[in-house]
C-alpha cells in the first residue's frame, strides 16, 4: 500500500514537471512574410450603473460584429510588423437594455454596417511564450475593435499551415465608486492567409 502511494505521488510529480515545462518560443521567422486579412469578427459586452437619489439605473450592452468583406495586408520582418491598406466592412448587431431599480424599461436591438479603413501602421513586436505576441508601439490595427483608436497591447496567435489567427481579449473597468460602476469585455479575431 505504501509503495503504491509513493509511486502514484512520484508519477503525478513527474507529470506536473513535464506538463508545466514551457515549450520553446517560436521564432519571428514563423511570422515572416506578407499575410492577407480574410476574416474579422468580434464581441463586446458592457454594463454601466449609477445611483441617483433612490433610483438605480443600469444599462447592459451586447454587441457582435462580423465582417462581410475584409482585405489588406500585414507584413512581418524580423521583430517588426506593418499594415498595408487593412479594411473591414463589419455588420454589427447590438442589443441595449436599460433597467431602473432592476425593472426592464427599454430593450432595443440595432443592426448596422460600419465600414472601416485603417491606418497604415508600423510597430515592433515581441513573442511571449509559445502563443502570445506583445506590441511595442502602435501594434496591429483592428485588434481593439474596428472603430477603436489604437490597438490591443497584446494578443494570442496560432499558425496552422498558411493560416494565422490573432485573437485579442480586453477587459476594462471604467469606473467604480459608491454611486456608479462600469465595465466591459471585448474579444476580436482576425484571420490571415500567408501570401
pLDDT tens for the chain, 195 residues long, are 444 444 444 443 434 433 344 444 556 668 899 999 999 999 999 999 999 889 999 999 999 999 989 999 999 999 999 999 999 999 999 999 999 999 999 999 999 999 888 778 999 999 998 899 999 888 999 999 887 667 899 999 999 999 999 999 999 987 778 789 999 999 999 999 999
Cα gap 146→142, rounded to integer Å: 5
Q: Where are the domains of the chain?
A: 28-194
Nearest alpha carbon to residue 37 among 128, 141, 179: 141
Closest CA to 125 of 155, 164, 147: 155
pLDDT of residue 25: 54
Question: Is the separation of the CB atoms in 134 and 125 below 8 Å?
Answer: yes
Give the pLDDT score at 147.
Answer: 73
State the Rg of the chain over Cα.
22
Say how far apart CA 158 and CA 165 lie, in whole Å.
Answer: 5
- Tell how far CA 81 is from the center of its chain: 18
Strand partners, 163: 160, 193
Other CB atoms within 10 Å distance of the CB of residue 119: 10
E strand residue ranges, 12-102? 33-52, 55-77, 80-100
Task: Supply the pLDDT for residue 27.
Answer: 63
Q: What gap in Å lies between CA 139 and CA 189, rounded to an integer?
A: 15
Instruction: Report the C-alpha gap between 12 and 10 in whole angstroms.
Output: 5
pLDDT of residue 179: 85
Q: What is the pLDDT of residue 70?
A: 94
Q: Look-up: residue for cell 441595449?
A: 96
Q: What is the pLDDT of residues 67-107, one digit of tens each?
A: 989 999 999 999 999 999 999 999 999 999 999 999 999 99
Strand partners of residue 154: 134
Q: Where are the alpha helices (DSSP H) in the chain?
A: 2-20
Give the model's pLDDT for residue 178. Answer: 78
Amino acid at each position: 500500500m505504501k509503495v503504491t502511494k509513493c509511486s502514484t505521488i512520484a508519477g503525478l510529480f513527474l507529470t506536473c514537471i513535464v506538463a508545466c515545462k514551457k515549450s520553446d518560443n517560436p521564432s519571428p521567422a514563423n511570422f515572416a512574410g506578407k499575410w492577407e486579412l480574410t476574416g474579422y469578427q468580434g464581441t463586446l459586452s458592457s454594463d454601466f450603473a449609477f445611483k441617483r437619489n433612490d433610483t438605480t439605473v443600469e444599462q447592459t450592452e451586447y454587441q457582435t460584429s462580423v465582417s462581410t468583406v475584409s482585405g489588406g495586408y500585414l507584413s512581418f520582418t524580423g521583430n517588426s510588423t506593418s499594415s498595408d491598406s487593412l479594411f473591414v466592412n463589419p455588420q454589427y448587431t447590438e442589443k441595449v437594455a436599460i433597467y431602473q431599480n432592476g425593472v426592464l424599461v427599454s430593450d432595443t436591438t440595432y443592426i448596422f454596417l460600419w465600414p472601416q479603413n485603417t491606418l497604415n501602421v508600423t510597430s515592433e513586436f515581441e513573442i511571449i511564450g509559445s502563443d502570445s505576441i506583445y506590441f511595442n508601439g502602435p501594434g496591429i490595427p483592428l485588434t481593439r475593435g474596428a472603430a477603436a483608436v489604437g490597438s490591443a497591447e497584446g494578443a494570442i496567435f496560432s499558425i496552422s499551415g498558411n493560416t494565422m489567427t490573432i485573437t485579442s481579449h480586453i477587459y476594462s473597468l471604467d469606473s467604480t465608486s459608491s454611486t456608479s460602476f462600469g465595465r466591459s469585455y471585448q474579444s476580436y479575431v482576425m484571420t490571415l492567409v500567408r501570401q
